[in-house]
Amino acid sequence: MPELRTDWLTGRTVLVAENRANRPNEFADELRSSNGEPASAAGAIASTVSDCPFCAGNESRTPPAVYTANDPSGRWRLRVVPNMYPAVGSEADQPTVHPLAEPAVGAHEVIIEAARHIDRMSLLSVTELQDVFVAYAERLRHWRSDGRFNYGLIFKNQGARAGASLAHVHSQLMALPGIPPAVERELQRAEQDFAEQGSCAYCRLIARELSDGRRIVVDRDGYVAFCPFASLQPCEVWLLPKAHEEAFEQMRSREFFQRLAGVLHAVIRKLESLVPGAAYNMLLRTAPWQSADGSGWHWRIELLPRLTSFAGLELATGVHINPLPPESAAGRLRDA
Ligand SMILES: [Zn+2]
Ligand SMILES: [Zn+2]
């Protein structure tokens, strides 16, 4: 029987309809046939590509780096550069085309996660992934302290189906002056719940998921990863610290980033062994910067595989159809 599931914190509603498909391998086949080839062809890709702007040697094809991490020999292994084609502008005083439009002001950066030409985050070593998280925290702190912005988001589009336009492994940062509407609504619910219950809603969610157990994918090293009750897509995974931590960028210790890199690496490898070449979006949701201390936010990473398309129902109603119940998805990911 198809069922409607609503997550009260995020406000998302999902129609879990198992009859529409039931094997992740079928989704992988679908992925291949829709793209003509697997989303990843890492084995066939050269380590450096002469026309790739993110490869070592082609630094002149991007704006100068605002942050770099180097290997022991002094060569860069991670660079952060301003986005050449930003979705938001840096100047508030530019005129808009339409008088009723507002200028979309913000910062937009690209985190180039490796100097060599690899096309998947899973091909980074755990140490390289750790460097990526250190860079995320550093750049979020930078924009947070800038003072003009109230919201910072890190996201990755893995694969063309998830919105990537360049194959070379990278992610993006956006800093925005206002809190986007969907985030604002979640923040309000979380703050209200924190005020009423005297404890963090996400901490209680983690406790419920751990005691239920059916949707847990990984529980180790201070992190828990689970398929959310109202998963938008098959094999969606949320990863949260088990200790209450509001803002990702408050974290500074090497050990913190090391443990996180180990756990996320394991989750991505599981996903990719279940769905080879999966396209996915990764979202790092840290506390909005405007929120008061003790707001009840709790940072998380969302991995959202793009195995089915958003279609008419999703666009018209905001209700997503997910053909794979998260309880089944978590079982398969645990075994992967
Ligand atoms: Zn490249
Ligand atoms: Zn919490």
Mean pLDDT of 279-294: 85
User: Distance from the CA of 12 to the center of ligand 1, in angstroms?
Assistant: 36
C-alpha 119 – ligand 1 centre gap (Å): 8
Other CB atoms within 10 Å distance of the CB of residue 151: 23
CB atoms inside a 10 Å sphere around CB 194: 20
Query: Quick one: three-class SS letters along the chain?
Result: CCEEEECCCCCCEEEECHHHCCCHHHHHHHHHHHHCCCCCCHHHCCCCCCCCCCCCCCHHHCCCCCEEEECCCCCEEEEEEECCCCCCECCCCCCCCCCCCCCCECEEEEEECCCCCCCCHHHCCHHHHHHHHHHHHHHHHHHHHHCCCCEEEEEEEECHHHCCCCCCCEEEEEEECCCCHHHHHHHHHHHHHHHHHCCCHHHHHHHHHHHHCCCEEEEECCEEEECCCCCCCCCCEEEEECCCCCCHHHCCCHHHHHHHHHHHHHHHHHHHHHCCCCCEEEEEECCCCCCCCCCCCCCEEEEEECCCCCCHHHHHHCEEEECCCHHHHHHHHHHC
Q: Which residue has the higher pLDDT, 143 or 33?
A: 143
In the chain, the percentage of residues whose pLDDT exceeds 70 is 89
Residue 69 pLDDT class (50, 70, 90 cuts): very high
Question: CA-to-CA distance for 322 and 189, rounded, in angstroms?
Answer: 25
Model pLDDT for residues 239-248, shown as the tens digit of each residue = 999 999 999 9
Residue with tokens 């009260």: 8
Residues surrounding ion ligand 1 at CB below 5 Å: 49, 52, 54-55, 117, 168
Q: Residue holding tokens 């899973």? A: 122
- Any idea which ligand is nearest the CA of 194? 2
Task: Return the pLDDT at 315.
Answer: 86
Is the confidence at residue 319, as pLDDT, over 60?
Answer: yes
> What is the model's pTM?
0.89
State the ligand closest to the CA atom of 296.
2
Q: What is the pLDDT of residue 220?
A: 96
The CA 233 to ligand 1 mean position distance, Å, reads 29
How far apart are the CA of 191 and the centre of ligand 2, in A? 11
The residues, any chain, with a CB within 8 Å of residue 7's CB and separated by 6 or more, are 13, 14, 228, 229, 230
| Of 65-69, 181-185, 194-198, 307-311, minimum mean pLDDT range | 307-311
Question: 40 CA to middle of ligand 1, Å?
Answer: 14
The ligand placed nearest to the CA atom of residue 197 is 2
Which of the ligands is closest to the CA of residue 299? 2
pLDDT in tens, 4-41: 888 888 888 888 887 765 445 555 554 444 443 443 44
**Average pLDDT of 215-224?**
97
Whether the pLDDT of residue 43 is over 70: the answer is no
36-40, 106-110, 216-220, 320-324: segment of lowest average pLDDT: 36-40
Distance from residue 246's CA to the centre of ligand 2 (Å): 7
Distance between CA atoms of 128 and 22, rounded to whole angstroms?
Answer: 35
CA 303–ligand 1 middle distance (angstroms): 23
Q: What is the mean pLDDT of residues 151-165?
A: 92
Give residue 117 CA to ligand 1 midpoint distance, Å.
Answer: 4
Q: How far apart are CA 234 and CA 96, in angstroms?
A: 40
Q: How confident is the model at residue 292 (pLDDT cuts 50, 70, 90)?
A: low
Q: Read off the pLDDT of each residue in 126-154 and give the average, rounded to a whole number.
A: 95
Ramachandran angles phi, psi of 222, nearest 5°: 90, 5
Nearest ligand to residue 118 Cα: 1
Asked if 154 and 172 touch (Cβ cutoff 8 Å), the reply is yes
Nearest ligand atom owner, CA of 53: 1
